[in-house]
Amino acid sequence: MCGATHQEFESLTLRQEMPKLDKKKIKRKLTPSSNHFLSLCSSIVYQQISTKAGDSIYKRFLQLFRRKKPTPKNFLEISTKDLRSAGLSGQKTSYLNDLAKKFLDNTINSKDFSKMSDADIKEHLVRVKGVGPWTADMFLIFALNRPNILPVGDLGIKKGFQKVFGLKTLPSEKKMRLLAKFYEGEHTYLSLYLWEALDGDKK
């Protein structure tokens, strides 16, 4: 422990209480997306609302395409009235419009994502109105299946850290990153584990 700070020593102690990450026991299985535009639409739809509400709105959103493939071009053919009727706020409707236009003019070029680092993709995505770190993290996890993403801005992740590590209060970003450093390279699976730890409370 020579040279370790008190916080690092504390985190090492906590590490012993943390079950070893077993990917096979994580219920949520990640599948790469074949439609990056739709995946980003999904991330925008689910912003700042419950999963239940998001599921309902997203289902109605998909129905607006009327069996057409959800592409930027087909999205822009949907009226604002119909988008609002599906449950989307005016703000999210404007975000989705900006997303579609930026795909069409190649401001967002998803074909390059496979060659880009996580940080570069985030920087690329935040060019879209309404896309911030949380939305970018969700895309990196659920659409691209990048293995080392820790969405520290997600409330569920904060609550997961609090529960699993027995913390009295919600942790700061610095605290979460310190605790997560033992899982460097597998932060995505740690995130899934933390979310599932909270899901157990809902049963």
Q: Which residue range is the domain that position 104 belongs to?
A: 36-142
Q: What does pLDDT average to in each consecutive run of 10 residues of the chain (203 residues)?
A: 50 54 82 96 93 95 95 98 97 98 96 95 95 95 97 95 91 94 93 88 57
CATH number at residue 66: 1.10.340.30
Tell whether 61 and 130 lie within a shared domain: yes
Q: Among the residues of 47-114, which ranges form H helices?
A: 51-63, 72-75, 80-85, 90-104
Question: What pLDDT does residue 26 have?
Answer: 85
pLDDT for res 7: 58
- Listed in sequence order, the residues at least 6 apart from 169 whose beta carbon sits closer than 8 Å to its beta carbon are 162
In a domain, 27, yes or no: no
Q: How far is CA 161 from CA 108, 156, 187, 198, 199, in A?
A: 33, 9, 12, 10, 13
> How many domains are contained in the chain?
2
Distance CA 140, CA 102 (A): 18
Q: Is the domain of 48 the same as that of 17?
A: no
Instruction: Please state, in angstroms and rounded to a whole number, the distance separating the CA atoms of residues 20 and 14.
Output: 12
Asked if residue 164 is part of any domain, the answer here is: yes
- Report the distance separating Cα 148 and Cα 29, nearest Å: 15
